[in-house]
Structure 1
């Protein structure tokens, strides 16, 4: 079944058709009791034999398909209904004795197969043993049925074959369930990725837009030219954020450390903070460069929003990136809350990196550090 549309796939429809055929093809072996019923001289015996055989065939196919659908969907087969189905098939076979004579025992082959498919293994084994013992015992007690002892082999063969069919149906159901779970997890992961990227993009961009708009409002009466420059930056940032959102929705979003450092310099300056940033960026693998870029974006956004700091320092080494400030420091739950930090930790886990949140080594301010353990000295 397609996870997105809920529609059955062609393979599922083919398997359903195969299931019906697999159940029906075995009915060929009812030709012996069917021929016996046709040879009956008395009309009522003929009608009873043919009627019970037709009812038995229809019931067997329906029971098989019902059980197969449960197994394929990984649903448990109701035990009481399963027992009732096996007993019902047996009753139809016995009911036809006046019209089928000793050939009624051919139906035991189907009863044993149904038991293997429907019942727990221990119960099914009991039914198979009883079905295999019935022909020789009945042949000994009823002289006219002596030739039916060959049905023992058919009962054992059919039971063994049905065991394979049962296992196949069970595995097929488990496979489908696993495929649906994989599809569900893929959808959930994609939604989480989109939500994480949108938060990181819009949280940073809108923070800088708000700061620059506030700065432009303060500058407008005293320095209109600079206020106009800040408004132009607001427009540029808004367009850039819109483009980032479009790329994120299209799964093409990516960030670069050099670009984020340049954006951080502008955002910190607009917020009135002294920025200490590296002049150049070391050569990094693409995935690590992107991870460090997200760390800079999240760290600078938090500094501008929450820190109350006057200075922000960003250090970049091949094995780690660190964003620190001299503000009020982290709240008791800062390390565990916030969508931005959660998203950053998820990104870091993919590269076996670590995210450390807390105060600076001197006990002041706030520090966000992302390091790659395998690279550390």
Structure 2
């Protein structure tokens, strides 16, 4: 979680890094290309200078307007912006046909404005028309062929390069935004995972401590040695809880089904609930064992805290490709939830916060979780997970298929 938070800060810093130009002010310096036309107005070589000056002023004003509208998507795609480009085109053709010479540089400026606004086919068509027009009008003045090619090529290049640079700039911004969003999502997922682990760890541990404390209080007046044994169990559970919390915080916790079953037996016996554990099937991969261990932990915690049961049966049935876990008690079900009352539900059945979190965990691994009234009363939690035979064989070869204290095919009560 700390690493994800650092990643989020890193993405925030990325947003401040220099990148391709993405501001209207980067387009304004290109207006210097119109200095030649302005100079011809000043030295009097342009006939009807007032008309030329008005055209220059109008084109410059429209160019500035397009530059600032090009970086706002809604404005860039509006009809008003297209109308401004049309007006710039009319002024460019009128001035170039009337005066020629340096006034032809309005074509690269117009192409640049089109590159900032238009995209895809519209851009290609507009740039090709402008480049052809610039070359043709230049040729009408009987200038050098190379000059005609240069003005046409410059017009084409202005529009295409501008469009490419601005598209790259937009892509970079979108990628930075995406990175920040992914980092935020990762942090949220890690917080959710940690909260689930903390709920499952502390909920079970504190329930066991409470039950064993009550047992010690009941036994103390008549059997001090048995009471001290319960106190020793409380100390052991507390130390184990500290270890598990540290492992959960660092993200390296791996649960063992056998270990969880032994803890479940101890917690049930302390609560004066008869435990019955039946296991069958081949060895399981450690990841599947860990998920089933979480289910056992949460279900047994609910039995101890809420059910009022006298018997709890835990059945693990392994089959090729699938493993099923059922935890059934003979208690009063879920007395805190009345029929028709609002509350969390799993597949249409009653479920609490812990079971809801387990449902999401198992669903992410391709499994499922159900919870509701048992077939003979009480309450039942059932889980099903896929098992990869290759993973199971590897776990068995490494000697990790069984947790301590479990026996396949055995029934223990």
Asked whether the two chains share a fold, i.e. TM above 0.5, the reply is yes
Q: Show the counterpart of 1:4.
A: 9
Closer, same or farther: CA 2–261 of 1 in aligned 2, 3 Å: closer
Q: Which 10-residue stretch deviates more, 161-170 or 254-263?
A: 161-170
Deviation at 1:9, TM superposition (A): 2.5
Q: Which 10-residue stretch deviates more, 291-300 or 171-180?
A: 171-180
Q: Match for 1:341 among 355, 362, 381?
A: 355
Deviations 1:81-135 (A, max 9, x none): 96798699889999x99xx974133133123222332357688679758855875
Deviation at 1:192, TM superposition (A): 0.9
Distance 2:250 2:235 in 1: 23
Distance 1:30 1:251 in 2: 60
Structure-2-length-normalised TM-score? 0.68
Closer, same or farther: CA 170–265 of 1 in aligned 2, 3 Å: same
Deviation at 1:228, TM superposition (A): 2.5
Q: Match for 1:322 among 322, 326, 329?
A: 326
Answer whether contact 2:212 2:231 (CA < 8 A) is retained. Answer: yes
Closer, same or farther: CA 26–121 of 1 in aligned 2, 3 Å: farther
Closer, same or farther: CA 336–110 of 1 in aligned 2, 3 Å: farther
* Count of aligned positions: 357
Aligned pairs for 1:188-203 (under 5 A) are 188-203=188-203
Q: Show the counterpart of 2:309.
A: 309
Q: Which runs of 5+ in 2 are unaligned?
A: 1-5, 47-51, 340-344, 390-413
Deviation at 1:155, TM superposition (A): 2.6
Answer whether contact 1:247 1:253 (CA < 8 A) is retained. Answer: yes
Deviation at 1:235, TM superposition (A): 2.4
Deviation at 1:244, TM superposition (A): 1.6
Q: Show the counterpart of 1:354.
A: 368
Structure with greater helix share of residues: 1
CA RMSD across the alignment: 4.7
Answer whether contact 1:138 1:146 (CA < 8 A) is retained. Answer: no
Match status 1:108 vs 2:107: yes
Distance 2:230 2:7 in 1: 51
Deviations 1:257-287 (A, max 9, x none): 1110110011001111011124899521111
Q: Show the counterpart of 1:283.
A: 283
Distance 2:251 2:171 in 1: 35
Structure-1-length-normalised TM-score? 0.74
Q: Which 10-residue stretch deviates more, 351-360 or 272-281?
A: 272-281
Answer whether contact 1:353 1:371 (CA < 8 A) is retained. Answer: yes
Structure showing greater relative contact order (alpha-carbon pairs closer than 8 Å, 6 or more residues apart): 2
Aligned pairs for 1:42-191 (under 5 A) are 42=43, 63=67, 67=70, 102-119=101-118, 131=130, 135=134, 151-191=151-191
Distance 1:85 1:6 in 2: 38
Distance 1:288 1:35 in 2: 77
Answer whether contact 1:322 1:370 (CA < 8 A) is retained. Answer: yes
3-state DSSP class of the match of 1:372? strand
Aligned pairs for 1:240-255 (under 5 A) are 240-255=240-255
Deviation at 1:14, TM superposition (A): 3.9
Q: Which 10-residue stretch deviates more, 311-320 or 78-87?
A: 78-87
Distance 1:261 1:170 in 2: 56
Distance 1:183 1:88 in 2: 46
Q: Which runs of 5+ in 1 are unaligned?
A: none
Q: Which 10-residue stretch deviates more, 362-371 or 113-122?
A: 113-122
Q: Show the counterpart of 2:393.
A: none
Deviation at 1:251, TM superposition (A): 0.9
Q: Show the counterpart of 1:204.
A: 204
Answer whether contact 1:219 1:226 (CA < 8 A) is retained. Answer: yes
Distance 1:110 1:225 in 2: 96
